[in-house]
Amino acid sequence: MGCMDHWHPVLAAKNLRQKPVGVRLNGRELVLFRDGRGQIGALDDCCVHRRMRLSLGSVSGGRLHCMYHGWSYDSQGNGESPATPKMYACAPHYDVCEKYDWLWVKPTDARAEFPALDVAGFEFAGTLYHEMEAPLEIVLDNFTEVEHTPTTHALLGYSIDRMPEVETKVESTANSVRVFNAGPQKAISPVVAAVFGIHTGDRFVDDWTTYFSPVYTVYDQYWNDEKTGAEKGIRWRNVVFFNPLDAERTGLVTFAFYKPDPQGGWRNWLTFKPGLLWFVDREIRLDQEMVSKLADKSPSIEGMKLSRFDRVLGLNRARLASVYRGTPAATDLVGQGSP
């Protein structure tokens, strides 16, 4: 399998209307369009004739028309030339599916399974999109450790003086890496505490698993009462997909889910969906800002002095290579870190 051979969420469905839209993924450019009969086409964004960008063209009669010499394509990539009607041309095309308000693509010949999200019992709050100015590895490093939460985050995380109490455990399989973190919730304002039904010092659990076909992490975030240990407040399940746009940039698609607090009462009115999305958006922007300031964004971990929270970095890299990119040379690293 290569890095394209997975189902990636590439465009919010609401952003595809009459006009074709170009997207970038793994350094490739694709064009998406609606053919007017409910089908969505996804083709390489490059006309097979003389390489014009198809995303600059237009859709009429259910076909995508190239702006240069007027060749046109259906959603399966079957092309026609108005000037040479007998000629057959075929543009490379992709399978498309619409799920969780996004459009997902994969090459037609790739056998990858659609990433079924385990979100039974959760409410879907909506989706967010962020672009990070760093390669996939560096972005994933940020999203899979909690040592930065005291300094970087507003709500979700631990306080710097109690970091030594935070437990972190790693478990891995050949194609997933789970990290379980638990420790005292950092200081939060009384308003935030009231809205979410939690307190500074409650045990905040951040338990996530990263998968690699495509690359995404499922975060389970919840709180246990500091004294009784009972679960309290809201529970979040955020799923973040990490799309490498090219070697320097990564697109993050977040699907936010939550379970309202069973004892929430009036509070559940306040944690309405736009409010939750606002909180998640703010936390991701804080990561975005922090990562943008790195002195060196090269994907290698060589030369880094790693902490007890960073065991996951090497495990993730090994699976990015073996599962996502299909680079067999890295498979010997995969066994490391298994329980």
Touching ligand FES, residues 225-264 (CB under 6 A)? none
Q: How far is the CB of 39 from ligand FES (least distance, A)?
A: 21
Q: Which does 309 bind (CB under 5 to 8 A by kind): Fe ion, ligand FES, none?
A: none
Distance in angstroms (rounded) separating the CA atoms of residues 231 and 261 = 10
Q: Please identify, using beta-carbon distances, which residue of 33 and 143 lies nearer to Fe ion.
A: 143
CB 259 within 8 A of CB 235: yes
Q: Please identify, using beta-carbon distances, which residue of 68 and 129 lies nearer to ligand FES.
A: 68
Touching ligand FES, residues 7-66 (CB under 6 A)? 47, 49-50, 52, 66
Q: Please identify, using beta-carbon distances, which residue of 68 and 122 lies nearer to ligand FES.
A: 68
Q: Which does 69 bind (CB under 5 to 8 A by kind): ligand FES, Fe ion, none?
A: ligand FES
Q: Please identify, using beta-carbon distances, which residue of 70 and 265 lies nearer to ligand FES.
A: 70
Q: Please identify, using beta-carbon distances, which residue of 33 and 236 lies nearer to Fe ion.
A: 236
The 277-306 site mask, x for binding Fe ion (CB under 5 A), equals ----------x-------------------
Pick the binder of ligand FES from 69, 162, 249, 259 (CB under 6 A).
Answer: 69
Q: Please identify, using beta-carbon distances, which residue of 70 and 262 lies nearer to ligand FES.
A: 70
Distance in angstroms (rounded) separating the CA atoms of residues 133 and 114 = 27
Q: How far is the CB of 140 from Fe ion (least distance, A)?
A: 11
Residue 9 phi/psi, 5-degree rounding, is -80, 120
Pick the binder of ligand FES from 7, 33, 71, 94 (CB under 6 A).
Answer: 71
Q: Which does 287 bind (CB under 5 to 8 A by kind): ligand FES, Fe ion, none?
A: Fe ion
Verify binding: residue 148, ligand FES, rule CB under 6 A: no
Beta strands 8-12 and 63-65 are unpaired
Q: Which does 162 bind (CB under 5 to 8 A by kind): Fe ion, ligand FES, none?
A: none
Q: Which long-range contacts (CB under 8 A, 24 or more apart) does 112-117 make?
A: 112/1, 112/5, 112/6, 112/7, 112/213, 112/214, 113/7, 113/213, 114/7, 115/7, 115/211, 115/213, 115/214, 115/216, 117/218, 117/239, 117/255
Chain residues that interact with Fe ion, rule: CB under 5 A: 287
Chain residues that interact with ligand FES, rule: CB under 6 A: 47, 49-50, 52, 66, 68-71
